[in-house]
Amino acid sequence: MTDSGLPTSEHLEHLDTDTIADLIENLLPAPEAHRAREHVKACPDCQQTYDALVQLTEDLADEGRADIPMPTDIAEHLDAVIVSESVLRSSTVGVHSLVQLREEPRRHLPKLVLAAAGVIVIAAVGVGVVVSTADHSNEGAAGINPTLPAGEVPSMTTDQVGPNAQKWLENSNGPVLHGSSDEIQCARVFAAGRPGSELRLVQPAKVDGKRATVIGLPGGSPQDIQLSVVTGCSGSGGVATPFYDTTVTLRNR
Amino acid sequence: MTSDITRIGAGGPPADGLGARPAGYETMDDHELLRLHVAGNPDTFGILVKRHRDRMWAVAIRTLGEPEEAADALQEAFISAFRRADSFRGDAKVTTWLHRIVVNACLDRIRRRQVRAADPLPEDEDRAAELAGPAKDDPAEVRERRLDVLNALKQINSDQRSALVLVDMEGYSIEEAAAILGCAPGTVKSRCARGRARLLPLLRHWQTTRGGSDVPAKTAAESVGTE
């Protein structure tokens, strides 16, 4: 501890702050706790540290009761995401409740996929993001065929990576592995160091203007896909450097 | 330390019926909004989100420290809540359920971050002032204090921070926090104790400005006088 009010290495007779904090939480073994208590009673400096730690706990509780206003841009984005979810659900003709959706997911799947593609556009508008039309010429008709030809390198912002990947994966029965063999190999090496190393998605993309690779790996549950956006995989023998990650939940797994 | 987390349960005025127009939703309580959402209403979940987002943002930003991470975690949490709303048990508070989903989403992100420890989080200093909220909303000293805590929390390790946020700031009991964090109660106590010891020098000026050390809550002699 270097704070002038606290015990320091120059004052070895004082208890250090960790010991006093442990004393307050009853974490010290009995003999040590006894010695520490006796010391605190007799030492004004250590008593002050003790009091300050007790006070800190109360101050943190006070502070914890206060909300923190969510920044406006984040709140707007969140609203748009929730609207997207609602649109996705309500576009599913004949399905009005989560219970129905959960019980009959297969029956409603094709409609969900179509709705999902439409939702991307709504979400993008909602947050003021302009989808790049040049690289999304196929995706513009995504309501009909939300898959990408193997050779395409779509452009998107980081915010759009999750919805796009969700769409690609939900429209496929298995892993989606696009890109050159070098790029896929680079993704495999990246995946080997992760908890779930089985590749679910490799998709070359331009993300925020950078040539990148979107890599999908199994997430915490069977429906979840952990997405990483990496640079460095587009060339031969490259090494992946992640710069964005997110998780998506697939409805049809 | 208390297990009382009623402060997250803002709730709302009593429900005013199923056929309410959108404007009427604002007056419904959380349970009713969630029930209508599960039944297929497209608007009520959004109202729940608006109602509780500042509370949930506080939890996420304190736990994760970085606005981008906190925003992603909250988005995951709210989508998860949206989709799994039918698993909500009506005997609990909606806010308690929502709070737990947010906490778990934040902890998931911390665990993923720890798996790739060589991938440090970017500093986002430009947003520091924004984290304290819009200037018009709160007095300067409230914002300053809020920023002090957020900055201090960022400087301690994530295990200690998670335990302190859950126990000291969000009011979970040691046992509840241990269940959420998946570790022993003793580990939670230890992380809290060491976290407080780390935070103390970072926040000590609070107490000097408040004259806290002149009016201690209780003395060591009073608190630890018995063995």
Residue B142's pLDDT is: 85
- B45 in contact with chain A, both atoms CB, cutoff 8 A: yes
List the 38-67 stretch of A: residues with Cβ below 8 A of B. Answer: 40-41, 46-61, 63-67
pLDDT at A214 over 70: yes
Please answer yes or no on whether B112 and A245 come within 8 Å at the CB atom. yes
In order of their start, the domains of chain B are 18-120 (1.10.1740.10), 131-211 (1.10.10.10)
Handedness of CA B71, B72, B77, B83 (dihedral sign): positive
Give me the pLDDT at residue B95, please.
92
In terms of average pLDDT, the best of A243-247, B6-10, B27-31 is B27-31
Portion of chain B with pLDDT greater than 70, in percent? 71
Instruction: Report the residue of chain A nearest B54, measured CA to CA.
Output: A69
Task: Specify whether A99 is located in the same domain as A175.
Answer: yes
Inform me whether the pLDDT recorded for B119 exceeds 80: no
A239 contact partners, CB below 8 Å, separation of at least 6: A186, A189, A232
Whether B220 and chain A come into contact, CB under 8 Å, resolves to yes
Structure confidence at residue A142 (pLDDT)? 32
- pLDDT over 80 at B124, yes or no: no
Task: Give the residue numbers spanning the domain of A240.
Answer: 72-249
A153 and A236 together in one domain? yes
Is residue A244 scored above 60 in pLDDT? yes
- Residues A92 and A50 occupy one common structural domain: no
In a domain, A237, yes or no: yes
A118 and A228 belong to one structural domain: yes
How many CB atoms within 10 Å of residue A36? 21
- Strands A176-177 and A210-218 turn out to be unpaired
Position A170 scores a pLDDT of 84
Is there a single domain that holds both residue A95 and residue A54? no
pLDDT for B19 equals 43
CA B186 to chain A, closest CA, distance in angstroms equals: 8
Q: Give me the helix-helix angle, B67-83 and B94-115, nearest 10°.
A: 130
Per-residue pLDDT tens for A42-96?
A: 999 999 999 999 999 999 999 999 999 999 999 999 999 999 888 888 765 344 4
In this structure, is residue A8 part of a structural domain? no
Sign, CA dihedral A187-A191-A196-A197, equals positive
Is A3 part of any domain?
A: no
CA distance B57 to A73: 13
Same domain, A124 and A210: yes
pLDDT category of residue A251 using cuts at 50, 70 and 90:
confident
A82 vs B46, B61, B85: nearest CB: B46
d(CA B57, CA B53): 6
Query: What are the CA-CA distances from residue B189 to residues A234, B108, B141, B159, B171 (Å)?
Result: 48, 21, 31, 11, 14
A130-166 confidence digits (pLDDT tens): 333 333 333 333 332 356 666 778 889 888 898 888 8
Q: Touching check for B143 and chain A: CB below 8 Å?
A: no
State which residue of chain B sits closest to A251, comparing Cα positions.
B83
Number of independent structural domains in chain A: 2
Smallest CA–CA distance from B5 into chain A, residue:
A65
- Which amino acid, one-letter code, is at A219? G
What pLDDT band is residue B23 in, cutting at 50, 70 and 90? low
Question: Is A5 a domain residue?
Answer: no
Q: How far apart are CA A195 and CA A185, in angstroms?
A: 18
A223 part of contact set with chain B, CB < 8 Å: no
A108 and A49 together in one domain:
no
Angle between helices A17-24 and A30-42 (to 10 degrees): 110
Model ipTM value? 0.77
Is the CB of residue B136 less than 8 Å away from at least one CB of chain A?
A: no
**B 9-38 near A (Cβ less than 8 A):** 37-38
pLDDT score of A192: 81
Q: In a mutagenesis test of the A interface, which of B83, B156, B202 is the best target, namely the one with the most A β-carbons within 10 Å?
A: B83
Residue B14 to chain A, least CA–CA distance (Å): 23
Position B1 scores a pLDDT of 39
A45 lies in a domain?
Answer: yes
CB contact under 8 Å between B42 and A86, yes or no, is yes
Q: Which amino acid is residue B212, in one-letter code?
A: G
The residue behind tokens 């513009």 is A140
